[in-house]
Chains A and B, each alone.
Chain A
Amino acid sequence: MNADSPSTLPANAQEITDPILPTPAQQPKLQIRLKNEDGIVKLILPTEAETPASASWNDLLEQLQQRLQANTRFWQPLAVVHLIAHDRLLDARQLQAINDALSDVSLQLQIVVTSRRQTAVAAATAGYSVTQQVSIDPLVPPTNADLTPLLAEPIYLQMTVRSGMDIRHQGNVIIMGDVNPGGEIFAAGDIIIWGRLRGIAHAGYPNNPQCLIMALQMEPTQLRIADRVARAPETPPPQFEPEIAYVTPQGIRIARAVDMKTTPYLRELALPPSLRPD
């Protein structure tokens, strides 16, 4: 895939330019967020509205465990966790499961922040400190301010993204490890893979064509940026080197990472505005 002339797609690469991808409304996400603020780990669960009806508690717990294990280097042992449960209904058993998952990576759950009375009662009974948020009326639509598509903070995951896993994030995604065939990454921003990309990477999801996909070794099943899709050539190149995928008016193209500053289009995306030509 490392073409000599970086602005052309390899001769036998296939390009599909029709926007065939689902819009975010059709594909709700289930996303647990972990944040480290002044030594306190905030575990933020998706709200009920953000949770697809098909996603079960077990899906959520599985994702939590995967996420915790991919980040163990980033907190001190026995760090304190604040669980931001939003409007999610949690019973004693589920709180216990969350606590078990946290203790496995030497974190301790201390405060539960919730807007649901039942969750607050269950958490208080189990001996956690409880902060009750003002509940948000689910019947009142959120104001436009909440819908501003600002990128979330990047997530950094040290893990192998294996077959059947998908990582979804409203920001940039950095994977320290491989993305195996069958693994998928959807990011509203850029995707940086410090490893091999063999699965599917979708940057600029759903509609930002200015985003990039970078990998030390590009052998993807599919590359997607905004509403464009490209497939890798049938025959892999004899040697791999770090590459960057980006969008041109002709579709998705790939350049060697070392050529970033000399490649048309890519250069304009990659450089800060003050350094761009014109």
Chain B
Amino acid sequence: MTRIIVITSGKGGVGKTTVTANLGMTLAKMGHKVALVDGDFGLRNLDLLLGLENRVVYTAVEVLAGECRLDQALVRDKRQPGLVLLPATQNRKAEMITPNHMKWMIGELAPQFDFVLIDSPAGIEMGFKNAIAAAQEALIVTTPEISAVRDADRVIGLLEASNISPARLIVNRLRPKMVEASEMMSVEDVSEILAVQLIGVIPEDERVITSTNRGEPLVLENNPNSRAAKAFENIAHRLCGEKTPYLDLSVDRGNILTRLRKIFTK
């Protein structure tokens, strides 16, 4: 049975696309067949993060317009043969897409894969409605900021009304040091408000930025030191029903401190 999961947040810039790319890559590494669907029509960038931009020929819009077959639009990832991307259109006719189109397209796509991950656009307008139309489950990405949490709360309400469950929570870009100094909302604060099951916490990691710019998701290269990469892997395992212990982020704080101290004493 294919699992169709939408990754959404309400607010922009909290890391939906990064989470989609890294989770997709991890699931593919684990041996699953994974399709990533860029639901951000008009402002696509999932292909960029995956480093597949120069291989996009057809997009979802051409499929819907009948100008190509669905399998022609799928971009296969050479590094991970189990991973394909269905790109979104950059420019034209993005407004013509309706929730029914998405349902049809993902219905066609799903039987060939174990996981279909849909990267939703920010906001709660048409693009969001399209992205959630075919989904059965949801991952809510939020950062520990009141604006992101407020938007996530709104989105969870809309997902509940659309009967998409379970909706599970990923807290992204957590800075344990700031949490301990009471300068940032803690994971407990966030999950207390949102009242949905937590599936992972991703610490802030600068390597996410460099890997994004290179078009190589963090989990692709072996990064034994990266706690963010480890966190993505843990989420993928939990998504498959395994019980994986949470990272001890307070240890991370010690590491950062000692690392910083090393830098300064050099």
Residues 155-169 of B at the A interface (beta carbon under 8 Å): 156-158, 160-163
Residues of A within 8 A of B157 (CB): 66, 162-165
* B193 CB-CB contact with A under 8 Å: yes
Which has the most chain B C-beta neighbours within 10 Å: A62, A69, A163, A198? A163
Is B154 in contact with A163, judged by CB distance below 8 angstroms?
yes
Residues of A within 8 A of B162 (CB): 65
Q: How large is the interface on A (under 10, 10 to 19, 20 to 34, 35 or more residues)?
A: 10 to 19
Closest-by-CB residue of B relative to A198 is B193
* A181 CB-CB contact with B under 8 Å: yes
Residues of B within 8 A of A77 (CB): none
Total interface residues on B, CB under 8 Å, equals 14
Question: Given A62-B161, A66-B157: A163 and B195 within 8 A (CB)?
Answer: no
Is B154 in contact with A182, judged by CB distance below 8 angstroms?
yes
* A104 CB-CB contact with B under 8 Å: yes
Closest-by-CB residue of B relative to A70 is B160
Residues of B within 8 A of A177 (CB): 195
Residues of B within 8 A of A104 (CB): 163
Pick from B153, B158, B160: contact of A180, CB under 8 Å: B153
Query: 0/1 per residue, A242-265, Cβ < 8 Å to B?
Result: 000000000000000000000000
CB distance from B154 to the nearest CB of A (A): 4
Closest-by-CB residue of B relative to A101 is B163
CB distance from A217 to the nearest CB of B (A): 11
* A87 CB-CB contact with B under 8 Å: no
Is B161 in contact with A162, judged by CB distance below 8 angstroms?
no
Residues of A within 8 A of B154 (CB): 162-164, 182
Is A162 in contact with B156, judged by CB distance below 8 angstroms?
yes
Is A162 in contact with B153, judged by CB distance below 8 angstroms?
yes
Bound together, the chains give a CA A181 to CA B150 distance in angstroms of 7
Bound together, the chains give a CA A163 to CA B193 distance in angstroms of 10
Chain A binding site: helix, strand, loop or mixed by DSSP? loop
Residues 213-229 of B at the A interface (beta carbon under 8 Å): none
* A227 CB-CB contact with B under 8 Å: no
Closest-by-CB residue of B relative to A161 is B157
Residues of B within 8 A of A160 (CB): 195
Bound together, the chains give a CA A69 to CA B157 distance in angstroms of 11
* B77 CB-CB contact with A under 8 Å: no
Residues 63-121 of A at the B interface (beta carbon under 8 Å): 65-66, 69, 104
CB distance from B11 to the nearest CB of A (A): 11
Closest-by-CB residue of A relative to B163 is A104
Is A69 in contact with B160, judged by CB distance below 8 angstroms?
yes
Which has the most chain B C-beta neighbours within 10 Å: A65, A162, A165? A162
Bound together, the chains give a CA A165 to CA B195 distance in angstroms of 15
Residues 38-73 of A at the B interface (beta carbon under 8 Å): 62, 65-66, 69
Closest-by-CB residue of B relative to A160 is B195
Is B151 in contact with A163, judged by CB distance below 8 angstroms?
yes
Closest-by-CB residue of B relative to A195 is B195
Bound together, the chains give a CA A162 to CA B155 distance in angstroms of 9
Is B195 in contact with A178, judged by CB distance below 8 angstroms?
yes
Residues of A within 8 A of B150 (CB): 163, 181-182
Residues of B within 8 A of A162 (CB): 153-154, 156-157
Is A65 in contact with B153, judged by CB distance below 8 angstroms?
no
Can you pick out 19 interface pairs between chain A and chain B where the beta carbons lie within 8 Å of each other? Answer: A62-B161, A65-B160, A65-B163, A66-B157, A66-B161, A69-B160, A160-B195, A162-B153, A163-B151, A163-B154, A163-B157, A164-B153, A164-B154, A164-B157, A178-B193, A180-B153, A180-B193, A181-B146, A181-B150
